[in-house]
């Protein structure tokens, strides 16, 4: 297992690629959105793990809010990335700083954990099953860090948003909540088809009104068996300039669902 320093993570470049979703070709932003947070990142790590589900070595990112050491005993929010971002980009996107900011504002602490999925989706393919990696292997890697894997949530954007919803529908009860930013969905697809299986999973939906997926995401919200527990539809496009504005509310929502009464 190879550890990459946080300095390397912060300077790692991101490569913009196109992702096919819902019959549309969508492009995410070409680079990280500026981070305007004063909160410091806590313990951020980028390591490599061997994924049997994907048949390859994958990057594995974790972030612990500042002041919580190595995160031992904290619950976990699993990250499912979009088409043009990877775990090596997460620190530059400010995810660790957003996490600390949420805790400083009063949210219960949790950790972030995500690994590299396929660039065109989080669905199973012959010899490469990123969904199984998230369901089976990510919790094992988190447990090795002594995070609390009995309390899990999932968060994703674009194809990662649809991937998080597919994950929760495929394994009801696996996660306590799903936060989906601009999920790449379309009426009649597997996410809509499995919507009934999300009846007991709180879902948060966020999408910008200028996003090509806006109407589809609104339709998904109406198709869910229960009204979305969180989310908003405000000005914004399919990029991190918009998604970064939604992270604080999403992290507050996730934290609340991970808190034991």
CA distance linking residue 25 with residue 22, whole number of Å: 8
181: closest CA among 195, 209, 162? 162
Helix (H/G/I), strand (E/B), else coil: 219: helix
Q: What is the mean pLDDT of the chain?
A: 88
Vertex 34 angle, CA 32 and 38, to 5° = 125
The DSSP element (H or E) to which 157 belongs, if any, is strand 148-157
Least reliable range by pLDDT among 19-23, 24-28, 138-142: 19-23
Supply the DSSP symbol for 204: E
Q: Are 163 and 202 in contact (CB under 8 A)?
A: no
- pLDDT score, position 261: 54
Q: Residue 33: how many CB atoms within 10 A of its CB?
A: 17
Helix (H/G/I), strand (E/B), else coil: 243: helix
Q: Are 214 and 190 in contact (CB under 8 A)?
A: no
Digit-coded pLDDT (tens) for 79-107:
999 998 999 999 999 999 999 999 999 99
**Architecture of the domain delimited by 37-258:** 3-Layer(aba) Sandwich (3.40)
Share of the chain above pLDDT 70, in %: 86
Average pLDDT in the 242-250 region?
A: 97
Average pLDDT in the 16-38 region?
A: 41
Is residue 231 predicted with pLDDT exceeding 90?
yes
pTM for the model stands at 0.87
Is residue 150 predicted with pLDDT exceeding 90?
yes
- pLDDT score, position 120: 80
Digit-coded pLDDT (tens) for 189-218:
999 999 999 999 999 999 999 999 999 999
């Amino acid at each position: 297992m190879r550890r990459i320093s946080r300095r390397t993570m912060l300077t790692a470049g991101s490569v913009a690629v196109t992702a096919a979703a819902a019959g549309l070709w969508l492009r995410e932003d070409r680079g990280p959105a500026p981070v305007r947070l004063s909160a410091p990142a806590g313990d951020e790590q980028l390591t490599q793990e061997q994924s049997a589900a994907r048949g390859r070595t994958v990057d594995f990112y974790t972030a612990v809010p500042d002041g919580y050491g190595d995160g031992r005993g904290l619950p976990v929010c699993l990250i499912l990335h979009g088409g043009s971002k990877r775990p090596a980009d997460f620190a530059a996107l400010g995810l660790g700083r957003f996490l600390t900011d949420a805790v400083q504002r009063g949210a219960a602490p949790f950790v972030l954990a995500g690994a590299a999925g396929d660039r065109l989706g989080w669905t199973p393919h012959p010899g490469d099953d990123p969904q199984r990696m998230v369901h089976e292997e990510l919790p094992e890697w988190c447990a090795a860090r002594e995070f609390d894997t009995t309390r899990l949530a999932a968060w994703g954007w674009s194809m990662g948003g649809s991937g998080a919803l597919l994950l929760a529908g495929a394994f009801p009860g696996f996660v306590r909540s799903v936060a989906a930013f601009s999920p790449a969905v379309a009426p009649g697809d597997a996410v809509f088809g499995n919507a009934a299986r999300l009846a007991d999973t709180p879902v948060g939906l966020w999408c910008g009104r200028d996003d090509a997926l806006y109407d589809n995401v609104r339709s998904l919200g109406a198709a869910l068996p229960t009204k979305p527990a969180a989310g908003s539809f405000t000005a914004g496009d399919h990029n991190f300039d918009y998604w970064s504005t939604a992270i604080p509310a999403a992290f507050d929502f996730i934290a609340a669902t991970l808190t034991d009464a």
